[in-house]
Amino acid sequence: MTTMFKRDILHWLPAIGMMILIFFFSSLPAYRIPYFGRLDIFIKKGGHALGYGLLGLSYYYALPSRLSIRYRWLMAWMMALLFALSDEFHQSFVVDRTSSLMDVMIDGLGAGLALIIGAGYSSNSNSNSSS
């Protein structure tokens, strides 16, 4: 394997790790998910936004830096949305769990916000910063 190919594979490891983690949590039956009292909805929906924010950023990091920032941002966001859709479909087959387009919207919002904040600070964002 060439050094460049190995580096490209390493760049995809965070995205693969996030996809595995999201898949694991969405595979849990309802009775295995803790209840957080009055904060339950905020913690669970916040977890959606945070998880997909990290997924979006990991996709952005994995995409080749030779692509424009705007294109990488859009591709990372669309990939996160597609994964959210597929994961909600998967979740519809899990015991006592349902799929929700509202969760997909929260996932997309989380990915978009993380990309807005994080893409400009990425070390492989083609920025002209000398630090």
Query: Do the beta carbons of residue 44 and residue 82 sit within 8 Å?
Result: no
Coil, helix or strand at residue 80 = helix
> So what's the pLDDT on residue 129?
45
Under DSSP, the state recorded for 33 is S
In a domain, 54, yes or no: yes
Residue-range definition of the domain harbouring residue 104: 3-119
In a domain, 112, yes or no: yes
Distance of alpha carbon 74 from alpha carbon 48, whole angstroms:
19
In a domain, 111, yes or no: yes
Distance of alpha carbon 102 from alpha carbon 86, whole angstroms:
14
pTM higher than 0.75, yes or no? yes
Q: What is the pLDDT of residues 30-39, one digit of tens each?
A: 999 999 999 9
In a domain, 73, yes or no: yes
Please give the tally of structural domains in the chain.
1
Q: Is the pLDDT of residue 126 over 60?
A: no
In a domain, 126, yes or no: no
In a domain, 100, yes or no: yes
130: pLDDT confidence band, cut at 50, 70 and 90? very low
Query: Do the beta carbons of residue 97 and residue 91 sit within 8 Å?
Result: yes
